[in-house]
Structure 1
Amino acid sequence: MLENIRENSQGLVAKIILGFIILTFAVAGIGSYTNSVDTSVAEVNGEKISQAEFEKAYQTQRARMAQQFGEMFETLSNDANYMAQMRDSVVENLVNQLLVDQASRDMAIRISDERIKQTIREMPAFQVEGQFDNNRYLARINQEGFYQSSDFRDYLRVEMTRRQLTQALVSSEFALPYQTSLLTTLQNQKRDIRFATISAKQFEQGVEVTEAEINDYYLANPGRFENQEKVKVNYIALDVNDLAKDIEVNDSDLESYYQQNIVNYRQPEQRRIAHILIEFGDDKATAKTKIADIQTRLNNGEDFGELANALSDDTFSGENGGDLEWFEAGINGEAFDQAVTALTDVNAVTDIVESESGFHLIKLTEFKAEQVKTLADVKEEIAIAVSTQKAQDKFFELQQQAAQLSFEFPDSLEDAANAVGVEVKTSAWLSRFGNAAPFDNAKVIDAAFSDLVLNERLNSDIIEVSDSLVLVVRLNEYQAANTKPLEQVSEQIKTILVQQKSAEKAQLLADELLATHKAGDDISAQLTANNASFEEKAAVARYGSDLDASIVREAFKLPHPVADAVVATTVKLNNGDIALIEVTAVSQGDEQAPASFEQQYSQQLAQAAYQSYVEALREQAEISKRENITSTSQL
């Protein structure tokens, strides 16, 4: 059969079919190269937001939330719905940001080079002892991925442009005097009120609750009667701080540590340097020609500092003759570092050096020889280091023993405890949240409630709570989550239902008294019969009153009193009692606002204005977003 297939494939028809197949693959192949896949997460007025932009913003948001919520963020990050909402929020922010950028371009908002330079000089991140430091500047922007200073300046220009538009909107908002006066008057308004509190407790006597009602409430509210899952564990703890108390350090230890770590007490030779930088830009060859011309001028005797000031693309150091202060390796790459360390004579200049930033000419302006601190100078420092190191070594050794023995003898902690010299202790009841240290650590709780400990009844693996503390736990006692039986909570439910029915009776009475009072009839006798009476309070303020907050809140909801009309209402208090409230007079508040009030109100108006502006941009824009956006960190 295979031979027949081979013979048939040699025919003209077969070759034509094969040709079509090859052509199809060729066209498909060309298409795969010419038509790149669109991975953008959104498009705003024809401008796309790339997956890379989303990824950067997403990771920044994750880091911010992890810092804000701590260990709880691990729980949140396991919630698929929550993380999906967070990704959507990141995309929405990027869309809003791009809309503002587009609006800035339409309005031709520009930031000058001089202003950018001044901003960089004033940024605390680039300062040492209050002064701008070019070395720190270059190091910090390199750490953030800006390998050319022009890239960072471009980034800063975009950010400052956004801020300029935002500030223009915010600063244009202000509170008019009449608005501030009106709002202040309302907030400072005072009211004369009288109120009577009808106690619900007085109606408890005689309230009947049936077994059926108790059962119905129990079935309708099972969550109120749950026992949370809990565990009590035996554990051993190994703490490096406890070990350090018994560590002894002798002179031989100090001498040995000093010799082994003498590099830490040696001040290596230092070089202060200056440079002239020509960035690659769009034409590397032109940059090379430009730096070569500068090198020729230096060789012809022109001053290095003057050339740096006039021609260097590193304008910050250029203003100081190209000074980069004391050289730190690793900022501008290996080639730059090698060129500097090869300089030994003050005022010597390197040949042309290429780095990621561009082409350099580097000058040695000052040199300090190597210095070494004596053992006597650093003895106290070394004693602490040796003690810590010995404790850490002992800690690591015992940690390994504890891990090994707790694994080899998984049915008990005694062998491991005896080997490392600690006691087996028993914890209090532990739940999944809200425990005291060290059981507030997520790793410990995960281990305590793990299948290994709960179901297999074995020792846990070694748990690294921190760099200085490890635990091993095993089950002592377990309490599963369950609903308490009805007979156990029957009296509790009965109490709840009695209180509810009593509150209902109190509310019914209050409503009847309110209707009678509004009709103009005196209700004093009825209040007295129900152990209540009106209590008068003059000049009650909206904020800071010593009255129940519910009473104050309802009193300020009521309209101003008018002649021949009772302005009153009822409100349920937190303890179940019912208050009948009447407003008898209203006095206007002081129109004079605190000094900070106008500013706070203006900020609220400005924030609302900015949000409205962005919403207006969104309504006018054409926005499309990809659904089910994921991050590469999830793949």
Structure 2
Amino acid sequence: MLENIRENSQGMIAKVILGLVMLTFAFAGIGSYTNSVDTSVAQVNDVKISQADFEKAYQNQRNRMAQQFGDMFDTLSADANYMANFRKGVLDNLINEKLIDIAADDLALRVSDERIKTTIREMEEFQVDGKFDNNRYLALINQAGFYQSSDFRDYLRVEMTRRQLNQALLASEFSLPYQEKQLTALQNQKRDIRFASISAEQFKADVEVTDQDINEYYQNNQTRFQNQEKIKVNYIALSVDDIAEKVEITQADLEQYYQQNIAKYQQKEQKRFSHILVEIGDDEAAAKQKISDVLAKANAGDDFAMLAKEFSADTFSGENGGDLEWIEPGVMEEAFDEAAFALTEVGNISDVVETEFGFHIIKLTEVKAEHVKAFSDVKDEIELVVSKQKAEDKFFELQQEMARLSFEFPDSLEDAADAVGLEVKTSEWLSRFGNIAPFDNAKVIDVAFSDLVVKERLNSDIIEVNDSLAVVLRANEYQAENIKPLAEISEQIKSMLIAEKATQKAQNVAQELLNAFNTGTDITEQLASVNASFEVKTDVARYGAELDSNIVTESFKLPHPKSGNKSATTVTMSNGDIALVELQAVKEGESSVSPNFSQQQTQQLAQSAYKSFVDVLREQAKITQRELVVSAE
């Protein structure tokens, strides 16, 4: 039936019906429905955070976590409590951002258009050979989801405004020398301890775990034993790079491109200038007289560089003899530009020029004549460009053919693959997150787990991963999300319960020993009965000690020992054993401060101040939150 629907959907009647449906929505107004329903997940004062914004932030954070932690994150994401906290953390971050935006607006913080433009031009991501490249800029922001350059500028403006407030808070913090010495002394402090480790293993033989215990644990912790939804897909991938390797290019193609794009290889005349600036200040006449006197000296043959060092208010260029390096038209003010580029001979000096900065005299110091790169010098470069252009043209043609055939023959990829010269490949098992390219792309994964692919077992529509890669896929093998059967994990649960109960028995024994120890009883024999004895460790450092980290942490929490009073506790070690720990002595550390410590301490204080600032904003704001729902889960 589905095949019939697909075939009939190409008919004129179907298209007319589809058109009428679209017109119905257009005139009735889809917005009248969506606008009547509040789909926001939170509201900060009068600003709403939409479900779409939350979904985007949530998926971005999941992707980052999956890439960073791999399979470990798959395990964590099976825990419902963990994911609930994860979603809450994403929403809290969005709320904090809105609070910062509101505070920045209240403080009238702004980022000018010129600052935005300069920042974009200086970003290394958008540069080719050290220069801003507009084509690269547009390609990268489109790839990132900004289909209008104004969208990216707006995004950058928000981020830079937030950074203004952030940096203002961070820059206001400092640490005092005595605080740094105190903290350094604490960090360098060492302690003498003794501890006895009581192994939980010895109690396992006496632990009884019933079938009922196992079943109850299984019922109460099913999310821990959940198999994630997975799929293997067959796919074909059409790539511009692969096509470019097979494209045939003639000498005539290269020469034609060179002639049609000669301007790209033409280096226009360049000019280098020096100048002397006199600021107008409160007395314009005096400034005008001063620059006239300097001009007279320059025209009389005085060294222009020495005059610039002596008289120029532009101290930066003045120290370099007034040198402004190579200047392109349009960089300086219009009056400056006109006067500078009117100079034709090296050594020419302009008349006095007035700009908003003051009065200038300008000297032309060097000229590079116009130059056109020879075809032989740029042939290799042109070959790459032409091959890519031809490959892109071929890519578009083959992409249309691949889309048509994979739709007309939805039960196999072979027809489409043969027509465009591709091989049908099979992926590894794919999950919702943490896959390798091209399956790390959200669009590809959404289609891979769509009903069309999973349930209907048909070819997907063509997926444009980016401007140079398109794929079509179909299901090879699918594994639905499910809970592992009890029989499969019964022994695993039994081992976990035995370990937990054994650790609890060890904890009970350790607590009894601690109680006796605190009363002054010699517990040597009692320790021996559980195969333990005290081990002494001197000069234990707070960081980097060759001991179980939990023992070290508890050792530095214990109060200083006093005459007649024990300073001891029990602690669960990383391996599940229990340690009885006694603090015997505290040795004060050196208080000498390293050169970088002050900066590190200031950064920590600044981060704390920023958090406190956000906490205050949260307390003062009216924040409402709704139940979080994630459509991808």
Report the alpha carbon displacement of residue 375 of structure 1 after superposing the two structures with TM: 1.6
Report the alpha carbon displacement of residue 570 of structure 1 after superposing the two structures with TM: 0.8
Q: Specify which of 58, 78, 83 is matched with residue 94 of structure 2.
A: 83
- Identical positions, percent: 48
- Quote the Cα distance in structure 1 between the aligned partners of 2:362 and 2:547: 77
- Quote the Cα distance in structure 2 between the aligned partners of 1:207 and 1:402: 64
Report the alpha carbon displacement of residue 91 of structure 1 after superposing the two structures with TM: 1.9
Report the alpha carbon displacement of residue 231 of structure 1 after superposing the two structures with TM: 1.2
- Quote the Cα distance in structure 2 between the aligned partners of 1:529 and 1:253: 90
Report the alpha carbon displacement of residue 268 of structure 1 after superposing the two structures with TM: 3.6
Find out whether 1:560 has 2:571 as its counterpart: no
- Quote the Cα distance in structure 2 between the aligned partners of 1:445 and 1:478: 13
- Quote the Cα distance in structure 2 between the aligned partners of 1:518 and 1:267: 87
Report the alpha carbon displacement of residue 319 of structure 1 after superposing the two structures with TM: 12
Alignment of 1:100-111 (within 5 A): none
- Quote the Cα distance in structure 1 between the aligned partners of 2:503 and 2:331: 74
Corresponding residue SS for 1:595: coil
- Quote the Cα distance in structure 2 between the aligned partners of 1:174 and 1:522: 47
Report the alpha carbon displacement of residue 571 of structure 1 after superposing the two structures with TM: 0.7
Amino acid at match of 1:266: Q
Deviation string 1:329-384 (CA, Å, 9 cap, x unpaired) is 66689x9999899979778999x999xx99x9999968766432222232232233
Alignment of 1:228-243 (within 5 A): 228-243=228-243
Corresponding residue SS for 1:205: helix
- Quote the Cα distance in structure 1 between the aligned partners of 2:520 and 2:266: 95
Q: Which residue of 2 aligns with 1:395?
A: 395
Q: Report the more deviating stretch, 482-491 or 215-224.
A: 482-491
- Quote the Cα distance in structure 1 between the aligned partners of 2:184 and 2:89: 47
Find out whether 1:509 has 2:495 as its counterpart: no
- Quote the Cα distance in structure 1 between the aligned partners of 2:368 and 2:438: 50
Distance 1:313 1:80, change over 3 A: farther
Alignment of 1:4-43 (within 5 A): none
Q: Which residue of 2 aligns with 1:530?
A: 530
Corresponding residue SS for 1:195: strand
Report the alpha carbon displacement of residue 90 of structure 1 after superposing the two structures with TM: 2.4
Deviation string 1:429-480 (CA, Å, 9 cap, x unpaired) is 1111112222222222122112332233222222233443332111112212
Report the alpha carbon displacement of residue 586 of structure 1 after superposing the two structures with TM: 1.5
Corresponding residue SS for 2:489: helix
The answer (yes or no) to whether the contact 2:447–2:460 under 8 Å persists in 1 is yes
- Quote the Cα distance in structure 2 between the aligned partners of 1:406 and 1:302: 81
Give the RMSD, CA atoms, in angstroms.
5.7
Report the alpha carbon displacement of residue 594 of structure 1 after superposing the two structures with TM: 4.0
- Quote the Cα distance in structure 1 between the aligned partners of 2:535 and 2:89: 54
- Quote the Cα distance in structure 1 between the aligned partners of 2:592 and 2:350: 67
Distance 1:261 1:324, change over 3 A: same
Report the alpha carbon displacement of residue 204 of structure 1 after superposing the two structures with TM: 1.4
- Quote the Cα distance in structure 1 between the aligned partners of 2:253 and 2:418: 29
Amino acid at match of 2:176: F
Find out whether 1:520 has 2:520 as its counterpart: yes
Q: Which residue of 1 aligns with 2:176?
A: 174
Find out whether 1:192 has 2:192 as its counterpart: yes
Corresponding residue SS for 1:404: helix
The answer (yes or no) to whether the contact 1:405–1:415 under 8 Å persists in 2 is yes
The answer (yes or no) to whether the contact 1:273–1:362 under 8 Å persists in 2 is no
Corresponding residue SS for 1:557: coil
Amino acid at match of 2:510: A
The answer (yes or no) to whether the contact 1:235–1:474 under 8 Å persists in 2 is yes
Alignment of 1:412-491 (within 5 A): 412-491=412-491
The answer (yes or no) to whether the contact 1:170–1:609 under 8 Å persists in 2 is no
- Quote the Cα distance in structure 2 between the aligned partners of 1:446 and 1:227: 19
Report the alpha carbon displacement of residue 610 of structure 1 after superposing the two structures with TM: 6.3
Q: Which residue of 2 aligns with 1:550?
A: 550
- Quote the Cα distance in structure 2 between the aligned partners of 1:258 and 1:84: 54
Distance 1:267 1:597, change over 3 A: closer
Deviation string 1:66-106 (CA, Å, 9 cap, x unpaired) is 9x9696599999977753442123224555x569xxxxxxx
- Quote the Cα distance in structure 2 between the aligned partners of 1:545 and 1:79: 36
- Quote the Cα distance in structure 1 between the aligned partners of 2:321 and 2:181: 58
Q: Which residue of 2 aligns with 1:29?
A: none
Distance 1:568 1:486, change over 3 A: same
- Quote the Cα distance in structure 1 between the aligned partners of 2:339 and 2:233: 61
- Quote the Cα distance in structure 1 between the aligned partners of 2:62 and 2:363: 48
Distance 1:382 1:517, change over 3 A: same
Deviation string 1:591-614 (CA, Å, 9 cap, x unpaired) is 242423652476268638966997
Count of aligned pairs: 491
Report the alpha carbon displacement of residue 504 of structure 1 after superposing the two structures with TM: 1.2
Report the alpha carbon displacement of residue 264 of structure 1 after superposing the two structures with TM: 1.5
Distance 1:597 1:264, change over 3 A: closer
The answer (yes or no) to whether the contact 1:174–1:605 under 8 Å persists in 2 is no
TM-score in terms of structure 2 length: 0.61
Distance 1:72 1:267, change over 3 A: same
Corresponding residue SS for 2:235: strand
Corresponding residue SS for 2:576: coil
Q: Which residue of 1 aligns with 2:15?
A: none
TM-score in terms of structure 1 length: 0.61
Distance 1:229 1:500, change over 3 A: same
Alignment of 1:226-265 (within 5 A): 226-265=226-265
Q: Which residue of 2 aligns with 1:212?
A: 212
- Quote the Cα distance in structure 2 between the aligned partners of 1:256 and 1:262: 10
The answer (yes or no) to whether the contact 1:236–1:424 under 8 Å persists in 2 is yes
Amino acid at match of 2:413: L
Find out whether 1:225 has 2:225 as its counterpart: yes
- Quote the Cα distance in structure 1 between the aligned partners of 2:587 and 2:89: 54
The answer (yes or no) to whether the contact 2:273–2:323 under 8 Å persists in 1 is yes
Amino acid at match of 1:175: P
- Quote the Cα distance in structure 2 between the aligned partners of 1:606 and 1:261: 57
Amino acid at match of 2:99: D
Distance 1:466 1:353, change over 3 A: farther
The answer (yes or no) to whether the contact 1:274–1:323 under 8 Å persists in 2 is yes
- Quote the Cα distance in structure 1 between the aligned partners of 2:360 and 2:413: 67
Corresponding residue SS for 2:473: strand
Find out whether 1:607 has 2:606 as its counterpart: yes
